[in-house]
């Protein structure tokens, strides 16, 4: 955020918007490297929010419930004290073992999880506390209960709330940043990620099964989506990447927490100095300017005219008929093309 | 007399698809021209076929009223994405097949004479997926609706975010929703029509956030694809899962409307959903919690005051004193002329302490409306009266 005020973040976004994509990381089998990162991000022993907080904050009081339906244990919320700063914490929590994972639904929140997050973020706004969120989610829970209770609505509202919340928001992606389920708590003034975190619009398996027609191509899809933290930083989606200790964050939870703490404290102090109007406006601008497109002047592409009877007869006799591009306008085709899903 | 050349037909049940369409629901063969006449709804089973953006606009808006904006926006390939085909090639193929540049068009138009800002998506273009262009168009439509204070009407038809643009397309969720939040804060209505299908990131962003959500019957609307749901949780999905009626039952849709009644429904809704006029007063009073446009309005006001105040005092100084102030100045904005005399005279008036406090606020409300009207009449028009009378009282006392 502060970088954005100084202009660095904007440069990154502009680069992503205008130039060629940044050069891929030099050789050394990018596929294996990327896939190793995805595996690290999903490592079972990777520190979760509750593992990090003891080292990251002096004090933490968890609060529960969305006041509408229930309490979702896949989302942890509460008040924390970092040094002399009071903050509100929101994070997704996977389990360390099977039993806990069942309780926490493998870190996949239901709508009530996001509604709980919204509730505490509103508290934060009301009491003037900054928000720190910890993102680690394979995706929002995709099941009938989730749909019945409006997972899409909860995500959209949460994104909306964060985009206008009048208090600083620091986002830390610690593990998997899985699509809308991650973005719902990741609309922040500054987005930080651990070195081996990933952020993507769809899981690599999902992407591969749609575009390559087999989930086995997941590593290829992971490379194509540029989902690693350094790649995302180059695209301007992530502002700061925190190096992990040793072989990865799972080897030293305490050191990981200390490194996160240093950066978060830095950012909180910097953001505290920014007037709220400016803060909210800059946050809006940040997301408003993401995306690469160009404006062209040429007339729109022309569909070939619908052929007359004579043409159609000629076509019928032409063996090449079925190989070419269909002359039927898209609105007329009702078969389902490959679905792009979040 | 069909020519019997079976070897040229790919399948036994193939038919010339530009003449006939087979209803996927009841299997009826439908003549396309006939189908077009009934808005592409199967006459025998009521199946709603998907509509192209062009057909949708033609069906919903007054004939010839649509004026497209930003028609030249085109996707780039920020990731250099290649799956079995390169992303630019996919775009080019989709453009050739649909005649569109990307999966959405936006512009202005009217419905039964009422102006709307519309944005319509087309599932035929790469599954209606939302990349930077779709996100930008929805956002620009929302921003235009905000400035013009005209209701926004978005027709969603999409499989979700566009994978080929990676997280950049995911961020379009935040971009569009952010713009809609501003619309909401400003009191400009947003009507969302969810057509078949509306799933994934499009459903989980702008489509679900309508002040009123409408859907067509039996449209597929959901967050995760049914295959994902079934695969991830290995459990039987209930019948009618993720269909319009399912969502209606669970309270996420206001109305499920047959296509033949859609236009009149939208039209009658637009009679109720009218943009709140003049944001200035609201922003002053409750701008703090709602936030976004408040400081702009205030800065606009103070700018206005700065522009007007010195000339006003000069004039007041030249023509002796306060009594002439409503008549003499020829500045175009009545609000400032009626409001400013109160401030110098307030110290001298202990009788009406509330008047000076309310006068600038009240007077500032009609400013944008009465701005075109010439100043002398402004005091007689109904709206500036409270401001004017209070200022007169203040100046008299």
- pLDDT, tens digit (0-9, with 9 covering 90-100), for B326-362: 444 444 444 443 443 444 444 444 444 444 443 344 4
> Is B14 part of the contact surface with chain A (CB cutoff 8 Å)?
no
Beta strand residue intervals within A93-180, DSSP E: 131-137, 169-178
Span A26-51, mean pLDDT? 86
pLDDT in tens, B60-82: 999 999 999 988 899 989 888 88
pLDDT single digits (tens) B296-309: 555 666 666 665 55
Specify the pLDDT at position B6.
53
Q: Please state, in angstroms and rounded to a whole number, the distance separating the CA atoms of residues B201 and B199.
A: 7
Q: For residue A99, count CB atoms less than 10 angstroms from its CB and return exposed for 0-12, middle for 13-18, buried for 19 or more.
A: exposed
Q: Which residues of B touch A321 (CB under 8 A)?
A: 8
Contact A330 B97 (CB under 8 A): yes
Q: Cβ contact (<8 Å) for B204 and A166? A: no
The reported pTM is 0.75
Residue A334 has pLDDT above 90, yes or no: no
Taking CB atoms and an 8 Å limit, are A226 and B160 in contact across chains? Answer: no
Q: Phi and psi of B199, rounded to 5°?
A: -135, 175
Chain A positions touching B181 (Cβ under 8 A) are: 160, 163-164
Q: Which of A20, A149, A291 sits opposite B175 (nearest CB)?
A: A291
Interface of B with A in 205-264 (CB under 8 A): 205-206, 208-209, 222-225, 228-229, 232-233, 235, 237-238, 241-242, 246, 250-252
Q: What is the DSSP pairing of strand B104-111 with strand B67-69?
A: antiparallel
Beta strand pairing call for B67-69 and B190-199: unpaired
Q: What residues have CB less than 8 Å from B268, skipping those under 6 apart? A: none
Q: Which residue has the higher pLDDT, A110 or B32?
A: A110
Tell me if A55 sits within 8 A of A261, measured CB to CB: yes
Bridge partner residues of B114 (DSSP)? B111
pLDDT of residue A96: 83
Q: What is the pLDDT of residue A306?
A: 63
B-proximal residues of A, 274-293, CB under 8 Å = 277, 280-281, 284, 287-288, 290-293
Chain A contacts in chain B segment 145-164 (CB below 8 A): 159-163
Q: Which residues pair with A169 in a beta bridge?
A: A131
Query: How many percent of chain A have pLDDT more than 90?
Result: 57
Residue A211's closest chain B neighbor by CA?
B83
Pairing of strands B190-199, B212-215: parallel
B283 CB-side CA count, 13 A: 23
Q: Look at B241 and A207 and tell me if their CB atoms are within 8 Å.
A: no
% of residues, chain B, pLDDT over 70: 63
> Which chain A residues have a beta carbon less than 8 Å from that of B170?
179-180, 183, 200-201, 342
> B393 falls in which pLDDT band (50, 70, 90)?
very low
Q: Does A123 touch chain B (CB under 8 A)?
A: no
Interface of B with A in 351-370 (CB under 8 A): none
A 241-270 residues inside an 8 A Cβ radius of B? none
* Chain A residue with Cα closest to B139: A288
Q: What is the largest CA-CA distance in chain B?
A: 101
Residue of A16, A18, A147 to mutate, interface with B, max B Cβ within 10 Å: A147
Chain A from 80 to 109: CB within 8 A of any B CB: none
**Are the CB atoms for B204 and A151 separated by under 8 Å?**
yes
pLDDT surpassing 70 at residue A30: yes
How far apart are alpha carbons A66 and A103 in whole angstroms?
17
A145 shares contact with chain B (CB less than 8 Å)? no
Q: Please check the confidence at residue B214 and state whether its pLDDT lies above 90.
A: yes
List the single residue in A212, A232, A329 with the smallest CB-CB distance to B98. A329
Q: Are B129 and A340 within 8 A, CB to CB?
A: yes
Rounded Cα distance, A21 and A9, in Å: 16
Q: Which residue of A has its CA nearest to B125?
A: A330
Residue A6's nearest CA partner among A288, A256, A239 is: A239
Residue contact B80–A21, C-beta within 8 A: yes
Q: Using CA atoms, how far apart are residues B22 and A47, in angstroms rounded to an integer?
A: 55
In terms of Cα–Cα distance, which of B66, B55, B59, B65 is closest to B100?
B55
Measure the CA–CA gap between A333 and A326, rounded to whole angstroms: 10
Residue B279 — pLDDT band, cuts 50, 70, 90?
low
Q: Identify the residue with better confidence: A46 or B357.
A: A46
pLDDT of amino acid A157: 95
In chain B, which among 271-310 make CB contacts under 8 A with chain A?
Answer: 289-292, 294-295
- Structure token digits, residue B260: 């033949």
Residue B320's pLDDT band (boundaries 50, 70, 90)?
A: very low
Which two tokens mark B318?
A: 């030249």
pLDDT at A145: 87
Among residues B296, B62, B177, which one has the least CA distance to residue A183?
Answer: B177
Q: What is the mean pLDDT of residues B34-48?
A: 88
> Mean of the per-residue pLDDT values for chain B?
75
Nearest CB to B159 within list A157, A225, A339? A339
pLDDT at B66 (0 to 100): 92
Q: Assess whether pLDDT exceeds 50 at residue A1.
A: no
CB atoms within 10 A of CB B295: 17
Nearest by CB to residue A163, choosing from B76, B178, B241, is: B178
CB contact under 8 A, A330 and B98: yes
Q: Please state the rounded mean pLDDT for residues B137-145.
A: 95
Residue B26: predicted pLDDT: 86
Q: DSSP E strands: which ranges in chain A? A: 59-63, 75-82, 85-92, 131-137, 169-178, 190-194, 198-200, 240-242, 293-295
Give CA–CA dist A152/B224, Å, rounded: 9
What is the least distance, in Å, from the CA of A51 to any CA of chain B?
Answer: 27
pLDDT band at B8 (very low <50, low <70, confident <90, very high): low
Res A299: pLDDT: 67
Rounded mean pLDDT, A153-174: 95
Q: Which residues of B are less than 8 Å from A144 in CB distance? A: 229, 235, 237-238, 241
Query: Given a cut of 90, is residue A62 above it in pLDDT?
Result: yes
Mention every residue, 6+ apart, whose C-beta is less than 8 A from residue A86.
A79, A80, A129
Q: What is the mean pLDDT of residues B366-379?
A: 41
| A212 part of contact set with chain B, CB < 8 Å | yes
Least confident of A192-201, A229-238, B175-184, B371-380: B371-380
- Calpha distance B184→B292 (Å, rounded): 10
Which residues touch A129 (CB under 8 Å, ≥6 apart)? A79, A86, A87, A88, A123, A167
User: Which of A27-31, A149-153, A244-248, A274-278 has the least mean pLDDT?
Assistant: A27-31
Strands B221-222 and B190-199: parallel
For A181-194, how does the pLDDT look when each residue is reduced to its tens digit (9 = 90+)? 999 999 999 999 99
First to last CA, chain A: 27
pLDDT at A172 over 50: yes
Interface test with A, best of B168, B241, B243 (most A CBs within 10 A): B168
Residues of B in contact with A237 (CB under 8 A): 167-168, 171
Higher pLDDT, A237 or B283: A237
CB B160 within 8 A of CB B123: no
pLDDT at A326: 46
Lowest mean pLDDT among A26-40, A174-188, A219-233: A26-40
Q: What's the pLDDT score for residue B372?
A: 42
Helix ranges, chain B (H): 32-37, 53-60, 87-98, 132-148, 166-186, 200-203, 226-233, 244-249, 259-272, 280-290, 294-318, 334-339, 342-345, 354-364, 367-370, 375-378, 385-396
Highest averaged pLDDT of the listed ranges B174-178, B222-226, B286-290, B356-360:
B174-178
Interface test with A, best of B163, B198, B200, B221 (most A CBs within 10 A): B163
Q: Chain B interface, mutation test: which of A232, A331, A335, A336, most B Cβ atoms within 10 Å?
A: A331
Calpha distance A67→A88 (Å, rounded)? 18
Which residues of chain B lie closer than 8 angstroms to A301, CB-CB?
Answer: 95-96, 98-101
Tokens of residue B237, six digits: 């999905």
CB pair distance less than 8 Å for A164 and B97: no
DSSP lists the bridge partners of residue A59 as A81
Question: What pLDDT score was predicted for residue B22?
Answer: 85
Give the pLDDT score at B174. Answer: 94
Residue A295: the pLDDT is: 85
What is the C-alpha to C-alpha distance for residues A185 and B369, in angstroms, rounded to an integer?
41
**Is pLDDT of B15 > 60?**
no
Structure tokens given for A2: 């502060």
pLDDT-based confidence at residue B107 (cuts at 50, 70, 90): very high
Contacts of A157 in chain B (CB under 8 A): 209
Task: Compute the average pLDDT of residues B244-255.
Answer: 93
- For residue B339, the distance in angstroms to the closest alpha carbon of chain A comes to 27
CA end-to-end span of chain B, whole Å?
97
Which pLDDT band, with edges at 50, 70 and 90, does A169 fall under? Answer: very high
Dig out the tokens for B267 from the structure: 């039209």
Chain segment B166-183, per-residue pLDDT in tens: 999 999 999 999 999 999
The single-letter DSSP state of residue A337 is P
Reply yes or no on whether the pLDDT at A258 is more than 90: yes
Q: Does A54 touch chain B (CB under 8 A)?
A: no
**B86 lies within 8 A of chain A by CB:** no
Distance in angstroms (rounded) separating the CA atoms of residues B130 and A293: 12
User: Minimal CA–CA distance to A157: which of A229, A57, A66, A227?
Assistant: A66
Mutate which: B29, B155, B174, vs A, most A CBs within 10 A: B174
DSSP three-state, residue B195:
strand
Chain A residue numbers with beta carbons less than 8 Å from the beta carbon of B136 are 291, 293
Q: What residues of chain B, 170 to 199, have a C-beta less than 8 Å from chain A?
A: 170-175, 177-182, 184-185, 199
């Amino acid at each position: 955020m502060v970088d954005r005020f100084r202009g660095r973040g904007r440069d990154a976004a502009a680069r992503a918007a205008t130039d060629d994509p940044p050069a891929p990381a030099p050789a050394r089998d990018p596929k294996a490297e990327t896939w190793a990162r995805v595996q690290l991000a999903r490592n079972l022993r990777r520190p979760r929010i509750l593992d990090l907080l003891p080292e990251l904050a002096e004090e933490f009081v968890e609060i529960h419930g969305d006041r509408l339906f229930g309490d979702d244990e896949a989302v942890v919320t509460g008040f924390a004290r970092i040094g002399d700063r009071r903050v509100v914490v929101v994070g997704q929590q996977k389990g360390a073992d099977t039993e806990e994972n069942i309780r926490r639904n493998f870190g996949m929140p239901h709508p009530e999880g996001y509604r709980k997050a919204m509730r505490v973020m509103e508290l934060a706004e009301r009491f003037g506390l900054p928000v720190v969120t910890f993102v680690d989610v394979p995706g929002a829970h995709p099941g009938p209960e989730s749909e019945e209770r409006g997972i899409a609505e909860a995500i959209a509202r949460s994104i909306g709330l964060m985009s206008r919340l009048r208090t600083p928001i620091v986002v830390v992606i610690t593990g998997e940043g899985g699509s809308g389920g991650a973005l719902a708590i990741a609309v922040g003034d500054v987005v930080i990620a651990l070195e081996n975190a990933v952020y993507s619009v769809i899981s690599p398996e999902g992407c591969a099964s749609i575009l390559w027609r087999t989930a086995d191509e997941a590593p290829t899809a992971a490379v194509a989506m540029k989902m690693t933290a350094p790649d995302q930083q180059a695209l301007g989606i992530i502002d700061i990447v925190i190096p992990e200790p040793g072989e990865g964050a799972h080897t030293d939870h305490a050191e990981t927490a200390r490194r996160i703490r240093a950066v978060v404290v830095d950012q909180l102090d910097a953001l505290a100095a920014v007037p709220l109007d400016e803060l909210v406006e800059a946050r809006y601008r940040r997301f408003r300017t993401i995306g690469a497109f160009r404006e062209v002047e040429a007339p729109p592409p022309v569909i070939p005219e619908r052929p007359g009877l004579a043409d159609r007869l000629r076509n019928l006799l032409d063996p090449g008929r079925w190989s070419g591009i269909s002359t039927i306008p898209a609105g007329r085709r009702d078969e389902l093309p490959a679905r792009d899903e979040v | 007399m069909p020519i019997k050349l079976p070897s040229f037909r790919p399948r036994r049940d193939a038919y010339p698809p530009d003449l006939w369409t087979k209803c996927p629901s009841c299997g009826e063969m439908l003549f396309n021209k006939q189908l077009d006449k009934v808005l592409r709804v199967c006459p025998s089973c009521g199946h709603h076929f998907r509509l192209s953006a062009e057909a949708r606009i033609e069906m919903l808006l007054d004939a010839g009223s649509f004026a497209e904006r930003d028609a030249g926006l085109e996707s780039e390939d920020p990731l250099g994405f290649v799956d079995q085909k390169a992303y630019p090639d996919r775009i080019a193929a989709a453009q050739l097949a649909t005649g569109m540049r990307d999966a959405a068009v936006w512009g202005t138009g009217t419905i039964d004479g009422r102006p709307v800002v519309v944005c319509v998506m087309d599932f035929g273009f790469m599954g209606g997926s939302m990349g930077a262009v779709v996100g930008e168009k929805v956002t620009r439509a929302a921003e235009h609706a905000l400035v013009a204070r005209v209701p926004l009407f978005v027709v969603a038809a999409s499989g979700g975010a566009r994978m080929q643009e990676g997280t950049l397309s995911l961020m379009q969720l935040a971009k569009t929703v952010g713009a809609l939040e501003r619309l909401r804060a400003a009191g400009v209505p947003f009507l969302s029509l969810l057509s078949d299908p509306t799933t994934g990131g499009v459903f989980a962003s702008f489509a679900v956030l309508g002040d009123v959500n409408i859907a067509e019957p039996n449209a597929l609307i959901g967050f995760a694809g049914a295959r994902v749901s079934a695969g991830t949780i290995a459990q039987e999905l209930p019948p009618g899962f993720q269909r319009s009626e399912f969502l209606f039952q669970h309270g996420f849709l206001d109305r499920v409307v047959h296509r033949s009644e859609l236009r009149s429904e939208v039209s009658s809704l637009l009679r109720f959903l009218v943009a709140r006029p003049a944001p200035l007063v609201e922003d002053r009073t409750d701008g703090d919690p709602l936030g976004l446009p408040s400081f702009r309005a205030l800065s606009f006001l103070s700018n206005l005051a700065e522009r007007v105040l010195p000339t006003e005092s000069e004039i007041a100084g030249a023509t002796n004193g306060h009594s002439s102030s409503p008549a003499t100045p020829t500045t175009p904005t009545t609000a400032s002329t009626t409001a400013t005399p109160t401030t110098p005279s307030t110290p001298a008036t202990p009788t009406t302490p509330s008047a000076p406090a309310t006068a600038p606020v009240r007077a500032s409300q009609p400013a944008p409306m009465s701005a075109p009207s010439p100043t002398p009449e402004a005091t007689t028009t109904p709206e500036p009266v409270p401001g004017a009378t209070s200022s007169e009282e203040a100046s008299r006392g």
